[in-house]
Structure 1
Amino acid sequence: MSLRQSFTARPWRVAAAVCVLATLVACGSSGGKKPEPTPLAPNHALIGVRQAWTAQLGASEAPLLPAVLGNELWLAGSTGTVLALDATTGQARWRADLATPLSAGVGSDGTTAAVVTKANELVAIEAGRVTWRARLGAGVSTPPLVAGRRVFVLGADRSLTAFDAANGLRLWTQSRPGDALSLSQAGVLMAVGDTLVAGQQGRLAGFNPQNGSLRWEGVIASPRGTNEIERLVELVAGVSRQGNQLCVRAFQAAVGCVDANRGTTLWTRSANGAAGLAGDDQLLFGTESTGRVLAWQRASGEPAWSSDRFLHRGLTAPVVVGRSVAFGDATGYVHLLSRQDGSLLNRLNTDGSGLVAAPVLAGDTLVAVTRKGMVFGWRPE
């Protein structure tokens, strides 16, 4: 398979005591009591959704993002379990127990799955069997990208490294200096045509996957402020792609869209959020750190609608599901809102332990993983 065929659409480490924002839970004000979550309105279930299956992954605290390819789904638990599922039936294709904590979620091209351990080791798995391991020079929070028979890794130090998926041979490394702080949250690493796209500080950058040379850059947000925390503008996972248009969020700074053909920034808008975006050909969807849900016009970035019904509920990044946009929350609910106006269409319950990461759509199945390690699959009717 050619590289182009494979490339389809498809820390904060602070010495001082600071407030750490993660994907699922926003920090309260410094020294103050955490705000109470907004009570939920009655659920009138305006669209039908049925639970299709459940599966068990294992308890997980870290937000390790899954990989999706058609109806296939790969999940990783923070204690070292990697699970490949058929998203239609919920049946396990294989399970691997690496017996070591993981720092990043899973990437897969359908043959090779790859994860990163907290000991900075890249691990490749095929059919449930470890095929090779490679040491990394930096910590990793972003799931590896597996494409074109290569495995690409984005380090917390913003380095990019390519490995041969067959044997783990290191092919190239591209380093980039940056600010002293980085975000312990999954960043942007994806493929668009024959270009490797990565988030580096507040920029989307396109690279030649053969040798790591830079092709283009599009700026979403620029570091500013008087200290390292205020200057943190990393791009976070959760990219909305329509053709060659990529729309992303810069952590607590902005949202914006880039033309990946030329690397041209189409528009940016200030936005105070920590979780990624989803969208369709007309709108983008995301949340602020307070829990406000927002929609923007995709073409211009102008506001389309907003909803305050989920304030302080620890919302995840969204996923588009049919005519709805779905968000998980810190108490384990998945909320389905109308893409048109943000009205509530349905609410799905899990096990009450909270979602460990944003829900995903695999084929026609909406999938969510809880902190207790339960995997829920629903199918809209």
Structure 2
Amino acid sequence: MALSTLLLGCSSAPSRPEPAPLQPDPKLLGMRQAWGIDIGRVDFPLVLQVAGNTVGVASSEGQVSLLDTRTGEPVWRAEVGVPLNAGVGHDGRMAAVVTTENELVALQEGRELWRQRLNAPSYTAPLVAGGRVFVLGADRSVSAYDGQSGRRLWNQSRSGEALVLRQPGVLIPVGDTLVAGLSGRLAGLNPLNGSARWEVPIATPRGTNDVERLVDLVAGVARQDAVVCTRAFQAALGCVDAARGALVWSKPAVGASGLSGDTTLLLGVESDGTVIAWRRADGERAWSTSQLRFRKLSSPLLLGPALVVGDDAGRLHFLSRTDGALQTRIETDGTPITVTPVLAGSTVVVVTRDGRVLGLRPE
């Protein structure tokens, strides 16, 4: 399917109101920088994935690395030679990225294994699992490739809307099911052949034109066992039991970025920068804080008793899990933090727009 238009996830909008002054840092939580490296500017929708003690990172220009999160040292580094659209998917050994030329590139031990031409762009980090590489296309197709040869094993395509988001979508394994976000629906596929097992709507298209009817699920899910909670862009959030293919609940919500959470709470950021906690059991609001409104926040990461979000000035704000009160604040390099932070062991990994990768640990 040819894509007639691509809509940016952070599309242009009227100038935002001026944010309120930041409150003084109470320094209630001790965090220190354990290591830091530079990888080059990151202008594409990088997604950090952790496997054991490794995390995959990449620059927009195509330098891809697996880092040891204990030291920040590269396990290996490779040059793709072409700017990137999506990545980095990896399993701790093999990594996969998608280039701006619509090529899927597989890498291992610092060398290229293979590259394959895709039928459509992809803005979602490939999933590397079970000796295969899975790709979610911007045309809402899902494909599987053999990890060693690059041979395409299957492709499931479907008709889609004229507009899609130019930001990462949902593509994760849950047990023996491949779970993908297709428009406003979460779908469970058989990873061996791509056949559909179930589809559950999180949000349905509404409105009279393509922009109003745009519904896509965005990357950043909060999973507990087989229950996957996800957000539909500017429309809703909901939880699905992937073992049964059944909707647990869905609630209206106006946000464009992913979720974090644990057994009792879901955390997210609304489009105006309000940070909200919802009860995982039923989706009712537990608390919200507007102290960081209009600061263009990253998706949150829940860290036990605290959560962390980055802003467009390179600050990391650590908030209380209980009520959202500020615990501490850390400055980075002054450039936006648009990549969702991740936790690897006891290390929080953060990436700035200028490509500064930091490993932070509790003091």
TM-score bracket for this pair, using the shorter chain length:
over 0.9
Residue aligned with 1:65, SS: coil
Provide closer, same or farther for how the CA distance between residues 174 and 12 of structure 1 changes in structure 2, counting only shifts above 3 A: closer
Contact 1:12 1:183 in 2 (8 A): no
Conservation of the 8 A alpha-carbon contact between 1:60 and 1:78? yes
CA distance in 1, matches of 2:179, 2:232: 15
- Which residue of 2 is the match for residue 285 of structure 1? 267
- The question of 1:322 aligning with 2:304 is answered yes
Match of 2:72 in 1: 90
Report the alpha carbon displacement of residue 13 of structure 1 after superposing the two structures with TM: 6.5
Paired residues for 1:107-118 under 5 Å: 107-118=89-100
Match of 2:31 in 1: 49
CA distance in 1, matches of 2:194, 2:45: 28
Q: Distance in 2 between matches of 1:243 and 1:131?
A: 33
Task: State the partner residue of 1:262.
Answer: 244
Which one of 172, 175, 189 corresponds to residue 207 of structure 1?
189
Q: d(CA) in 2 for partners of 1:311 and 1:38?
A: 8
Q: AA paired with 1:356?
A: T
**Whose strand proportion is higher, 1 or 2?**
2
Displacement of 1:12 after TM fit? 9.3
Q: Distance in 1 between matches of 2:248 and 2:4?
A: 32
Q: Look up the equivalent residue of 1:181 and give its one-letter code.
A: L
Which of the numbers 124, 128, 140 marks the counterpart of 2:122?
140
Answer yes or no: is the 8 Å Cα contact 1:12–1:184 preserved in 2: no
State the shift of 1:178 in Å: 1.5
SS of 1:182 mapped into structure 2: strand
Q: Among residues 317, 323, 333, which one is paired with 1:351 in the alignment?
A: 333
Q: How does 1:8-157 map to 2 (within 5 A)?
A: 14=5, 20-22=8-10, 27-29=12-14, 33-157=15-139
Give 1:236's aligned residue: 218
SS at match of 2:211: coil
2:289 counterpart (303, 307, 311): 307
Corresponding letter in the other structure for 1:66:
L
Question: Aligned to 2:280, which of 294, 298, 301?
Answer: 298
Higher mean C-alpha deviation, range 65-74 or range 285-294: 65-74
Q: What are the equivalent positions in structure 2 for 1:208-223 lying under 5 Å apart?
A: 208-223=190-205
Residue of structure 1 in register with 2:350 after alignment: 368
Give the gaps of 5 or more residues in structure 1: 1-10
The one-letter code of the counterpart of 1:89 is T
SS in 1 for 2:165: coil
Question: Partner of 1:52: helix, strand, or coil?
Answer: strand
Question: In the superposition, relative to structure 1, how do residues 27 and 346 fare at CA in structure 2: closer, same or farther (>3 Å)?
Answer: farther
Query: Which deviations, in whole Å up to 9, do the C-alpha atoms of 1:296-353 show, x marking residues without a partner?
Result: 0000000000000001100011111121111111111111111111111111111001
Partner Cα distance (1:208, 1:122) in 2: 21
Q: Following the alignment from structure 1 to structure 2, what is the Cα–Cα distance between the partners of residues 27 and 280?
A: 33
| Conserved 8 A contact 1:107-1:146 | yes
1:96-140 residue CA offsets vs partner (Å, 9 max, x unmatched): 111210000110112210000000000000011001011100000
Matched with 2:144 is 162
TM-score (norm 1): 0.92
Contact 2:26 2:328 in 1 (8 A): yes
**Matches of 1:57 and 1:89 in 2, distance apart?**
15
**1:250 maps to 2:232:** yes
Instruction: Tell me how far apart the structure 2 counterparts of residues 191 and 237 of structure 1 sit (CA, whole Å).
Output: 13
TM normalised by structure 2 equals 0.97
State whether residues 273 and 295 of structure 2, in contact with CA within 8 Å, keep that contact through their aligned partners in structure 1.
yes
Give the corresponding residue for 2:254: 272
What is the percent sequence identity of the aligned residues?
A: 55
> What SS does structure 2 have at the residue aligned with 1:51?
strand
Matched residue SS, 2:212:
coil
Which aligned runs of 4 or more in structure 1 are off by greater than 2 angstroms?
11-15, 26-29
Residue 138 of structure 2: SS of its match in structure 1?
coil
Query: Structure 2: 5+ residue runs without aligned partners?
Result: none
Looking at structure 2, the residues matched to 299 and 146 of structure 1 have their Cα atoms a distance apart, in angstroms, of 31
The separation in 2 between residues aligned to 1:301 and 1:361, in whole angstroms, is: 25
Query: Structure 2: how far apart are the matches of 1:66 and 1:97?
Result: 18
Q: Is the 8 A contact 1:292 1:306 kept in 2?
A: yes
The amino acid that maps onto 1:71 is N
- Match of residue 6 from structure 1: none
For residue 93 of structure 1, report the CA deviation from its aligned partner.
Answer: 1.1
| Contact 2:9-2:165 within 8 A present in 1 as well | no
Q: Distance in 2 between matches of 1:329 and 1:161?
A: 34
Shift of 1:43: 0.7
